[in-house]
Chain A
């Protein structure tokens, strides 16, 4: 038991969702509709998941990019949706700061300043993913990521304003 415990990892949030999705996808006999229903139910019921490390590594690992995607990256084409970010420390809250809220209330400068406190690329990607802020998957510097996150928040706000007219 003790040995097993040292070889486990705790997953939550996006990492947990990615793990469960790939676990179910590995079982090809589960129909897509049933799989989505199960994933929804599991997401509601499970707050944290402790899994054996090798299994988690295999299932949460970012998928290798295909030759097509590598070519697209080399030619500068933008990916529309970044892969699900890697799991990171439990102390990081990807819902804070609320980027859209800060941009609305205090402007882009304040949002960039709030994001400056987050220095890890993985954390910034996870924040963008959880806050549904679409950013280019190829960005690799924290400064670029922060700017892209704020730009995505501005697009969301503009979308909402346009719909209200």
Chain B
């Protein structure tokens, strides 16, 4: 059965797209899964990482983006979703015989405008604003769900903020990874996104859900080793389930996403970030925790 994994945080700049692409590569290479990355962010960073600027432009010109898909299919019955998908993306080589591969539903800068347009179109039919919002979000969720038939794993790279696309993705996801930087502002963002994911309205209601039963796990990212990061992580661990894997600031992660179409092995692409990615992959997809040594 297809799994839907959302990578989300209302705060920007926490590494959502990077994590989404890293996990897509890992699941394809090590889990031999057919992974679809759905780029819901109008910054389109995941698309640029997987296709490069020119490849993304070609996809936009061909009408193969999330915005095109939502606009074309909003009022129609399900059709052939695969025409919107770009296959064999990214620069990691997979053995010809292996089933693992990465596909992409590219992002579009027009997605926000189109969501607004769809909202207005629906608003002409209904008077209640909340009902219109629920309807648009529900339809987007169903449209996203159709891609489950094409692959083993769908990774939803969510935008910051609270667009219909982001809310639909959070509603659809079986699990959510919430990357964060352990700083003062991030704790507020985590509290808020956690309430959205768990569909509660107050911190008291959130606290009543045991950490182990929540759909999300938080991932500390961009660690520098400063003492205050340790403080913040320990404080956040009272209220939120945290992954034991923590990602430091690494030049090799930044370098891995400089667009370069030459195919590489996972070792070549991720270099000294590879042990961290192995730990993250194991923890997110198999629930096992690899020690630094075994990774």
Contacts and interface: CB of A to CB of B under 8 A. Distances in A.
A161 interface: yes
A95 B238 contact: no
A24 B226 CA distance: 21
B231 A95 contact: yes
Contacts of B227: 13, 93-95, 130
Contacts of B234: 98, 101
B238 A160 contact: no
A3 interface: no
Interface in A47-76: none
A165 B188 CA distance: 10
B276 to A, nearest CB: 18
B81 interface: no
Interface in B134-178: none
A12 to B, nearest CB: 10
B230 A161 contact: no
Contact of B231 (A13, A101, A164, A165): A101
Contact of B203 (A93, A100, A104, A161): A161
A163 interface: yes
A131 interface: yes
Q: How large is the interface on B (under 10, 10 to 19, 20 to 34, 35 or more residues)?
A: 10 to 19
A107 B224 CA distance: 30
Contacts of A164: 188, 191-192, 195, 202-203
A29 interface: no
A159 to B, nearest CB: 9
Given A104-B235, A104-B238, A95 B188 contact: no
A131 B235 CA distance: 12
B228 interface: yes
Given A94-B227, A98-B235, 17 more contacts: A13-B227, A44-B249, A95-B227, A100-B231, A101-B234, A104-B238, A105-B238, A130-B228, A131-B228, A132-B228, A160-B191, A161-B203, A163-B188, A163-B191, A164-B188, A164-B191, A164-B195
15 contacts: A13-B227, A98-B231, A101-B231, A101-B238, A104-B235, A105-B238, A130-B227, A160-B188, A163-B191, A163-B192, A164-B191, A164-B192, A164-B195, A164-B202, A165-B202
